[in-house]
Amino acid sequence: MRIITFGTFDLFHIGHLNILERAKSFGDQLIVGISSDKLNFEKKQFLPLFSFEERKRIISSLRCVDEVFEEESLEKKREYITKYNADILIMGDDWDGKFDFLNDICEVHYLKRTKDISTTDLKKRINYSV
């Protein structure tokens, strides 16, 4: 089974590792789409702290990840799933229901996020402590 998931993965933290390891447990291969810097800006109105290339290097180095690619558009999920021949799409539960329309080409699962950790919260905590 080929698993695909997506994320920005800026300020890599335990929540990121948890969801990637849990995603991998659904199959044999884990393919990760990492948001381009441009896509991240379109989604969140700010650039990630680490460049796409830096985030790609971090995610590629993980034992649970088999392949990494650049996600350029949220609207291309179907295209990415087809291109990478994914059987299952895994997303965090903050996206619950938003990708159910893809059930016609793969299984869609939403995994619970790690409690009390997010990149946004980390950025706030770091800013507060400086």
Residues contacting residue 20 through CB under 8 Å, at least 6 positions apart:
5, 30, 32, 59, 62, 64, 65
- For every residue of 84-129, which 3-state class applies, written as one string? CCCCEEEEEHHHCCCCHHHHHCCEEEEECCCCCCCHHHHHHHHHHH
Q: What is the pLDDT of residues 21-38, one digit of tens each?
A: 999 999 999 999 999 999
Q: What is the pLDDT of residues 71-128, one digit of tens each?
A: 999 999 999 999 999 999 999 998 999 999 999 999 999 999 877 666 666 666 666 5
**Amino acid letter for position 20:** L
Q: Is the dihedral of CA 5, 8, 12, 13 positive or negative?
A: negative
- Residue 110 pLDDT: 97
- Residue 122 pLDDT: 66
Residue 79: CB atoms within 10 Å: 11
Phi, psi of 128 (to 5 degrees): -65, -40
**What residue has token string 């350029």?**
72
